[in-house]
Structure 1
Amino acid sequence: MRISCVMASLVGLSWAISPALAAEEAKKPNIVFIMADDLGNADLGYRGGQVSTPNIDKLASEGVRLESFYGEPVCTPSRAALMTGRYPMRYGLQTLVIFPSHTYGLALDEKTLPQALKEAGYKTLMTGKWHLGHADKKFWPQNRGFDYFYGNVVGEVNYFTRERGGLIDWQRNGAFLKEEGYYTDLIGDDAVRLIDQQDGKQPFFLYFASLAPHGPYQAPESAIEKYKDTPDKLRRTYMGMISELDVQIGRIVAELDKKGLRDNTIILFSSDNGGATSGLFAQGAKSNEEREHDEGGIEQGQKAPAINAPFSGGKGSLKEGGVRVPAFVNWPAKLKPRIVNEPLHMVDVMPTLLALAGGTGSPDHPFDGRDTWKTLAEGAPSPTDDVLINVEAFRGAIRKGDWKLIKIALLPGKTELYNLAKDPGETTNVAAENPDIARDLEARLLRYAGEQKPSLWIKAQPAFVGAQGKTVMDPDFDIDDGGLPQEKIAIPN
């Protein structure tokens, strides 16, 4: 009788424990997405760069390195792709960026990543740069799914004053602030404070959207001094900006450890686009005179400091240096270190995270991205047949396997085909030697082009396609030129 009672008690206890274990197993992960801005492909330590980035390097080496991960050529489209899981051409954000004078923003009928995560029970938090609409409060982060926002809504600000054109673009939940301090430090302080407030009972999504190392090129003197042996002052400052970002990333990870949240937190890191190698794309819509008067400004014709080796091109270009970006995913409890060379895109982030979080997108706005968890966790092939890098009225690029096609539609037009496995620097156009592949990729690109909505940027700037107002009729302006090929750039020792 006594044995029977004991057995019954044990069975009862097992039934009591099992739901708790099941709940623990099904616990939704916290999510931290770290977005760098205009980061050069070869400017991080783990990528052989000259900048000291020990915290980023540790996360990358212990995580899943995404070696063929694509953003968009510039800031706004890339951030839109992250927030929607859909190509920016679906809602008119495929061309250039939202300028301070523009009144449009990310389409209000697009369900955003934070909105979907809120529906799945998440606390949604953001610190840093938005750049998806500023002229109307309906476009602001706190009205697009974030419970909390601290940062700037336009593309760039002074790192020490948070001013742009004499106006302060710095707010916390809609209240504009005038604060002392360096941009990267301030958003790092806020991110650490937000993590400290979490009790582990409700999952959270933290979007840490750094402005660094986007221009204007400004950093504390102590950070610049670390690179005193680098001859070029602009390059020294740029390197110092990346180091300051690395410090804040280290603080975020340390705070997750301190709170006991690290094992259940997935950290994703990416740049929005490639590093700026031309002054034309290094800062926003400013004249040379305005840039010259900016501390840390750069003239349109000046060489910008990022290095995208081994790729050619840079920010603004459809070449690999403009769109293939440093990226990795780190979650030690679930992901083993590996290198993934499968082509993936920023649009894949949202469906992947929602699959982990139990969230859903909008049925009438289907994702272009795919759930890539098996690729990350098991090294499985990419679930996408092709990757649309971007398409606009005047140019586009698409990748399938090792093959990439770039089409420039401005007369006289040109079609370029590259085998990235053999030619990552895109030095040799092999379209003539591979007509069937070129025709297939061009047909795919044109199908996407037929689905695009009119560019809101071109509607707002009807006479221009150049970032600084160079017309489409200017024969000397190549919209695809984001900088010299890397082999023509002298990389400092």
Structure 2
Amino acid sequence: MCWTVSSLSAAVAAGDGEPKKPNIIFIMADDLGNADLGYRGGQVSTPNIDTLANDGVRLESFYGEPVCTPSRAALMTGRYPMRYGLQTLVIFPSHTYGLATDEKTLPQALKEAGYKTLMTGKWHLGHADKKFWPQNRGFDYFYGNVMGEVNYFTRERGGVIDWQRNGQFLAEKGYYTDLIGDDAVKLIDEQDGKQPFFLYFASLAPHAPYQAPESAIEKYNNVPDKLRRSYYGMISELDVQIGRIVAALDKKGLRDNTIILFASDNGGATSGLFASGSKSKEERDTEEGGIEQGEKAPASNAPFSGGKGSLKEGGVRVPAFVSWPGRLKPRIVNEPLHMVDVMPTLLALAGGKGSSDHPFDGKDMWKTISDGAPSPNEDVLINVEAFRGAVRKGDWKLIKVALLPGKTELFNLAKDPGETNNVAAENPEVARDLEARLLQYAREQKMSLWIKAQPAFVGAQGKTVIDPDFDIDDDGLPHEKVAIPN
């Protein structure tokens, strides 16, 4: 299936009569709680995010995946992660697999459509082999880390400094969010307006470890919980960098032809198990801002139940909005949409094509965003694994856990957004229909690479595997291509 633009009436017309392709910025927050932004009633001061959301289109039923890797894969491919084995948990430092190289990615498709493709921040779609790295998956430029979480001040993980620019490992001073903000502003300043660009700003914040500059933490001295103060400070710092990105666009005269999309990859972490579950106990005990697996994490996903790792709404229904001045009027969209819908939508706007060999699961959602049309999706697969899955159709959502003794739950989200009342017994036909849909998806899924990797993973647990071309010194830095600041 190929997606091409049928109409670019929303875009700015160029002088030669051809539509001018919009610049695209996708901002991905990490483990951001549904209730932890100012415009959603949270305690955190987020004026820049609030302005973009309130002046744009708020997507109030937008779904990611339960955890980081699957959600990022869905964004990059327009296809459900179960199609290529990334449906289970995340890629740990000792794992050697990544996003299948035969999957056509969003930056690859946009590059073919004439875009400059830029990324700054967290990748988390494969690190053990350079073939998985962003600069080998369609990005012209990459600055950031390829594993999951790192220390915000040192970028260290498992004895390795995971920080690079286009394959050149760096040992830089500074706070993670500030560094990628500086880089994003620099990249925008370098644009001349002649070639459209795609910027993927993939924030690590506010993922654990909960670390922020003291100046950001001090804003929340009235909050008694230490981890929550740091968590709030991390979100504030992210908001500052988003404000700088918008200001840089304004300065270059690019804002009116730049579409900004914002979403969290999954719900906020409410348990230490999913806040930092891939770390050893020693790492968690010794790291500033670390969290024990049994400890309560600081995010809030109200009014939803559950959090990161869960199939409940709090784990998968994420804050999201789209901003395009003069092209989109402020509105709230409650139609169910999914991360897989982003790629076909952007390619339709950009005049790009997907892959005929790997058809999209996602649909072009632009009319839903711009006109408030019904969702293009007959149903939304939230996720499916060998042992559990969830699917939504209209207001109905079914969650099935296959592990014995097993459990089937059906919720009417319009009446029960908190998923407190299982109505499967009262609505057997609805439950049977959604279960049949979920089982069909389950039959189509590829073997989970996470499960497949477990025999080797058990022996290598705690060991960080980076590309073998980069031998690691005792200081955690590769022998080659390392820039040490003065």
Tell me the TM-score normalised to structure 2 length: 0.91
- Residue number among 184, 187, 191 corresponding to 1:194 in the alignment: 187
- Residue number among 328, 334, 338 corresponding to 1:335 in the alignment: 328
Higher relative contact order (CA 8 A, sep 6+): 2
The reply to whether residue 149 of structure 1 matches residue 142 of structure 2 is: yes
Quote the Cα distance in structure 2 between the aligned partners of 1:210 and 1:83.
Answer: 15
C-alpha distance after superposition, 1:399-457 (max 9, x if no partner): 00000000000011000000000100100100000000000000000000000000000
Residue in 1 that maps onto 2:312 = 319
- Residue number among 11, 15, 18 corresponding to 1:20 in the alignment: 15
RMSD: 1.4
Q: Which runs of 5 or more residues in structure 2 are unaligned?
A: 1-12, 463-486
The reply to whether residue 119 of structure 1 matches residue 117 of structure 2 is: no
SS in structure 2 of the partner of residue 190 of structure 1: helix
Residue in 1 that maps onto 2:298 = 305
Residue 289 of structure 1 and its aligned partner are, at CA, apart by 2.7
- Residue number among 67, 70, 73 corresponding to 2:63 in the alignment: 70
The reply to whether residue 216 of structure 1 matches residue 216 of structure 2 is: no
Residue 287 of structure 1 and its aligned partner are, at CA, apart by 2.5
Residue 284 of structure 1 and its aligned partner are, at CA, apart by 4.2
- Residue number among 54, 61, 65 corresponding to 1:61 in the alignment: 54
Residue in 2 that maps onto 1:97 = 90
Determine if contact 1:85/1:350 at 8 Å carries over to the other structure.
yes
Residue in 2 that maps onto 1:161 = 154
Determine if contact 1:33/1:267 at 8 Å carries over to the other structure.
yes
- Residue number among 235, 238, 243 corresponding to 1:242 in the alignment: 235
Determine if contact 1:156/1:284 at 8 Å carries over to the other structure.
no
Residue in 1 that maps onto 2:474 = none
Q: Match of 1:180, as an amino acid?
A: K
Q: Match of 1:150, as an amino acid?
A: Y
SS in structure 1 of the partner of residue 391 of structure 2: strand
- Residue number among 116, 121, 136 corresponding to 1:128 in the alignment: 121
Residue in 2 that maps onto 1:288 = 281
Residue 19 of structure 1 and its aligned partner are, at CA, apart by 7.8
Residue 165 of structure 1 and its aligned partner are, at CA, apart by 1.4
Q: Match of 2:299, as an amino acid?
A: A
Quote the Cα distance in structure 2 between the aligned partners of 1:20 and 1:145.
Answer: 30
Residue in 1 that maps onto 2:339 = 346
Residue in 2 that maps onto 1:433 = 426
Residue 462 of structure 1 and its aligned partner are, at CA, apart by 5.2
1:266–1:27 distance in 2 versus 1, CA, 3 Å: same
The reply to whether residue 449 of structure 1 matches residue 442 of structure 2 is: yes
SS in structure 2 of the partner of residue 226 of structure 1: helix
The reply to whether residue 42 of structure 1 matches residue 35 of structure 2 is: yes
SS in structure 2 of the partner of residue 405 of structure 1: strand
Residue 166 of structure 1 and its aligned partner are, at CA, apart by 1.8
1:19–1:358 distance in 2 versus 1, CA, 3 Å: closer
Quote the Cα distance in structure 1 between the aligned partners of 2:14 and 2:317.
Answer: 44
SS in structure 1 of the partner of residue 238 of structure 2: helix
Quote the Cα distance in structure 2 between the aligned partners of 1:462 and 1:385.
Answer: 38
Quote the Cα distance in structure 2 between the aligned partners of 1:19 and 1:47.
Answer: 38
Q: Match of 2:35, as an amino acid?
A: A
Tell me the TM-score normalised to structure 1 length: 0.90
Residue in 2 that maps onto 1:479 = none
Determine if contact 2:22/2:196 at 8 Å carries over to the other structure.
yes
SS in structure 2 of the partner of residue 146 of structure 1: coil
SS in structure 2 of the partner of residue 208 of structure 1: strand
Q: Match of 1:87, as an amino acid?
A: Y
Residue 332 of structure 1 and its aligned partner are, at CA, apart by 1.3
SS in structure 2 of the partner of residue 404 of structure 1: strand
C-alpha distance after superposition, 1:453-484 (max 9, x if no partner): 0000000115999xx99xxxxxxxxxxxxxxx
1:19–1:35 distance in 2 versus 1, CA, 3 Å: closer
TM superposition outliers: structure 1 runs of 4+ over 3 Å: 462-465
Quote the Cα distance in structure 1 between the aligned partners of 2:255 and 2:283.
Answer: 44
SS in structure 2 of the partner of residue 34 of structure 1: strand
Quote the Cα distance in structure 1 between the aligned partners of 2:383 and 2:112.
Answer: 30
Residue 290 of structure 1 and its aligned partner are, at CA, apart by 2.0
Q: Match of 1:428, as an amino acid?
A: N
- Residue number among 377, 381, 385 corresponding to 2:378 in the alignment: 385
1:50–1:263 distance in 2 versus 1, CA, 3 Å: same
Quote the Cα distance in structure 1 between the aligned partners of 2:14 and 2:275.
Answer: 54
Determine if contact 2:22/2:259 at 8 Å carries over to the other structure.
yes
- Residue number among 357, 364, 367 corresponding to 1:371 in the alignment: 364
Quote the Cα distance in structure 1 between the aligned partners of 2:257 and 2:241.
Answer: 20
C-alpha distance after superposition, 1:318-373 (max 9, x if no partner): 00000000000000121111000000000000000000000000001000000011
Residue in 1 that maps onto 2:479 = none
Residue 20 of structure 1 and its aligned partner are, at CA, apart by 2.2
Quote the Cα distance in structure 2 between the aligned partners of 1:19 and 1:152.
Answer: 37
SS in structure 2 of the partner of residue 304 of structure 1: coil
Residue in 2 that maps onto 1:486 = none
Determine if contact 2:277/2:293 at 8 Å carries over to the other structure.
no
Residue 288 of structure 1 and its aligned partner are, at CA, apart by 2.4
Determine if contact 1:264/1:333 at 8 Å carries over to the other structure.
no
Residue 285 of structure 1 and its aligned partner are, at CA, apart by 1.1
Aligned residues: 448
SS in structure 1 of the partner of residue 20 of structure 2: coil
- Residue number among 76, 86, 96 corresponding to 1:83 in the alignment: 76
Higher alpha-carbon deviation: 283-292 or 426-435: 283-292
Q: Which runs of 5 or more residues in structure 1 are unaligned?
A: 1-17, 470-493
Quote the Cα distance in structure 2 between the aligned partners of 1:384 and 1:434.
Answer: 22
Determine if contact 2:272/2:294 at 8 Å carries over to the other structure.
yes
* Bigger Rg over Cα: 1
Quote the Cα distance in structure 1 between the aligned partners of 2:60 and 2:185.
Answer: 29
